[in-house]
Amino acid sequence: MSAALTFSPTTTHASGDSFSATLSEELRDAVGRFVRTVRTRSGTPHDAQVDALAELDRNGPMSAAALAEIRGVTHQSMRLVVSRLEAAGLVAREPDPSDGRGWLMTLTDAGRHAAAAHRQARSLWLAQAIHAKLSGKERETIAQAIPLLLRLIEPD
């Protein structure tokens, strides 16, 4: 576990890294470990199919190409993922109204249920961990940090 950052915002390390650079590395590491731990301990695996379901659940119907771009994979890889999801009855293809030759992937009722079940399992595990491990003041600190984290990822 990383030690708390204990130097001022203007402190630099021998390597020349600024406080912001060090903070960013600590934050990136903590967020990554946090996400992986929540997925593992909640029993919700991280795989391409689960990620594609979550993306469709968040953003609505989209083409396999758009889904591939968002997930950072090749179009061919995403087509395989979508085919598996379609075979499992979790997504369906519908004609793209803006492209007569294209298709949009949309969640079926079963796909929406699967995405919601994964989201619920993660939220339940996290709520239990927050309740068991954090004081009231620490919970308030986490609540105050959420808007700051969201501001960091806003488009410029």
Structure tokens that stand for 119 in this block: 């989201």
CA distance 126 to 95: 38
Tell the residue number behind the tokens 């519908």, with chain if given. Answer: 94
The three-state secondary structure class of 51 is helix
CA distance 51 to 61: 14
Nearest to 85 by CA among 130, 50, 46, 60: 50
On the CB side of 16, CA atoms within 13 Å amount to: 0
Per-residue pLDDT of the chain (156 residues; tens, 9 = 90+): 445 555 455 555 545 568 888 899 999 999 999 999 999 999 998 889 999 999 999 999 999 999 999 999 999 999 999 999 999 999 999 999 988 889 999 999 999 999 999 999 999 999 999 999 999 999 999 999 999 999 999 998
Alpha-helix residue ranges (DSSP H) falling in 6-135: 19-42, 48-59, 64-71, 75-87, 109-133
pTM: 0.76
